[in-house]
Structure 1
Amino acid sequence: MMAAMKNVGLIGLGAMGLGMAQSLRRAGYHVHVYDVRVDATRTFADEGGVACGSPADVGSRCEVVISAVVNAAQTEQVLFGAGGAAAAMPRGSVFVMCSTVDPNWSMAMEQRLAAMDLLYLDAPMSGGAARAASGQMTMMTSGRPEAYARAGELLDAMAAKVYRLGDRAGNGSKVKIINQLLAGVHIAAAAEAMALGLREGVAPEALFDVITHSAGNSWMFENRMPHVLKGDYTPLSAVDIFVKDLGLVLDTARATKFPLPLASTAHQMFMQASSAGYGREDDAAVIKIFPGIDLPG
């Protein structure tokens, strides 16, 4: 039997992390979890997981610790803050970093953990909460062969596609921010198209049906515009996520003076939506920046 009932830790039970933890549990692992929201940890424990009181508690019990928090700052807190995991993890164990971060930060983190005799996988993810819950998400990974040797089966348990993009950290995060460039631009373009349709008096449901059966369709149009049609901006991925992620895209390109005109425009659209008070709403709320339209719902 596969590494049956092996201990694994997961920190961060948000939209993606919860689904990842559920996939690991279905695959036969003892999943030890920590989240700053105690109720989320307890709920997962009630369903068959193991609740832990801190990242250090997770790290001391598991050979592999997966982090699914929001950004680099939260990841550093998980590792090195009060009750951090790094000092508690057994030497030779693996930290799997699944956030969207600056690739240079990820490369530096690999070196910082190596100095503590800990292995590191740069492993950002994509696919949304539903695919995370079904174990069908995509992971863009890079890291040392020894890290893959210890954590590879876990990645396969969480994702339908696990891309191995290099033997050092960095390439996983580079590919992820390129993906986020496209995702952010596509959401912004989808919102602009729907806004124009509304301004011109086209029935939004009819427009959605036509576009999703035509060459102008995109995954993001098909996935996000139903939120607009329903008037439901409950955040699955928030506007402020793309303020952050497109900011990382632009920072990366700026370092080599590489122009990104579409990403820059999309970033400004999400910034405008955030400054207007929509930062914590679903990223489809970027449509709210357009004047003179009556939104459904």
Structure 2
Amino acid sequence: MSQHDKQSLQVGLIGLGAMGMGTATALLKQGFNVTGCDISVGARDAFVAAGGQSVATPAELAHCHIVLVVVVNGVQVEQVLFGEQGVVSHLAPGSLIIQCATVAPSQAKQLGERVVAQGLMLLDAPISGGAAKAKSGELSVMASGATEAFIYAEAVLNAMAAKVYRLGDAPGVGSSMKLVNQLLAGVHIATAAEAMALGIRMGLDPEVIYDVITHSAGNSWMFENRVPHILSGDYTPLSAVDIFVKDLNIVHQTGRELALATPVASSALQQFTAASGAGFGREDDSAVIKVYQRLSGIALPEAANDAQGAE
């Protein structure tokens, strides 16, 4: 696709949070004409400042050929697609929706059927990689849908992702794969927090724990990525505790549908639920360690400004 073709293709993106904003700006950098949509005026203004266009409601994306949905949960997906100001009823026939939020596979299948019934295409395309990789256009996309939808989406997918997995010819498969990823991600974060809590309780230096484990067999991507948030005492949400309350609940519910027990994921879900109940739901997901602080009184590292304020 030439630069001219990119500019003639109208791309909309609903949800200018950390992942959505990163993806939208990555597409801008690749020469696409992108209109962002978010209920937050601040998010819309930030995207305009980055060189994009913005609208306040999904219905205002009627001019777009491709619309990406990067919202938080299935309820929001339903609202932005089919609600009073939803985009589906306003798009021209043959337009494409790329649904990137983590939802239950059963919901993804239903969305595909409803969107196709409206004369549109849908890719079930959950994303992974975090805000930094979204901004650099290096996400992993776990996608399923019709061949013609993949062909239509190819340039956009290549601009936002380092790896695009074509997992099936109908919606639902992509969301199934994302659920496997979220089970592992949630368990790994909860386990990293528990391991750090144990080490701190035994009197080990948290910085030394991190150094040793990241050079040992017990390391994981999540341990290496999230423990620095704990070490710096900075729980600014890049991915919030409540995200894993939601996603691990979907794992649990899907397991029940399939009569498949998920005891390890269920244990992690309880820890995230406890963290949310304690008031940490909107903090970074690494704040799940604060459950152990509440229960056993371990001393967690403080943010630099907090430490200075205590002097």
Q: TM-score, normalised by structure 2?
A: 0.93
1:264: Cα distance to partner? 0.8
Report whether the alignment pairs 1:238 with 2:243. Answer: no
> What's the offset of the Cα at 1:149?
1.6
Shift of 1:4: 2.5
Q: Which moved more, 1:141-150 or 1:177-186?
A: 141-150
Q: Out of 295, 298, 301, which is 1:296 matched to?
A: 301
The amino acid that maps onto 2:246 is: K
> What amino acid does structure 2 have at the position aligned with 1:169?
P
- Which secondary structure state, in structure 2, belongs to the residue aligned with residue 162 of structure 1? strand
Q: Write the letter of the residue equivalent to 2:35.
A: H
Match among 205, 208, 217 for residue 206 of structure 1? 208
Query: Which of 155, 166, 169 is 2:168 aligned to?
Result: 166
Offset at residue 151 of structure 1 (A): 1.1
Q: Which residue of 1 aligns with 2:88?
A: 86
Identity of aligned residues (%): 55
Alpha-carbon distance between aligned partners in 2 of 1:20 and 1:282, rounded to the nearest angstrom: 20
What's the CA shift string for 1:26-63, capped at 9, x where partnerless?
A: 111100111001221122123221112321111x1111
Report if the CA contact (8 A) 2:35-2:53 is conserved: yes
Structure 2 SS opposite 1:163: strand
Q: 2:279 aligns with which of 277, 280, 293?
A: 277
Query: How far, CA to CA, are the matches of 2:45 and 2:274 in structure 1?
Result: 38
Within 5 Å, give how 1:175-214 maps onto structure 2: 175-214=177-216
The separation in 1 between residues aligned to 2:79 and 2:139, in whole angstroms, is: 26
Figure out how many residues of one structure are paired with residues of the other and give that number. 296
Q: Which runs of 4+ in 1 moved over 6 A?
A: none
- Whole-angstrom distance in 2 between the partners of 1:56 and 1:160: 30
What SS class does the counterpart of residue 143 from structure 1 fall into? Answer: coil
1:50 pairs with 2:53: yes
The 2-side partners of 1:142 and 1:129 are apart by 23
C-alpha displacement of 1:152: 1.7
The answer for the alignment partner of 2:120 in structure 1 is 118
Which amino acid letter does the alignment assign opposite residue 66 of structure 2?
V
**Greater alpha carbon shift after TM alignment, 213-222 vs 76-85:** 76-85
- Pick which of 47-56 and 200-209 moved more: 47-56
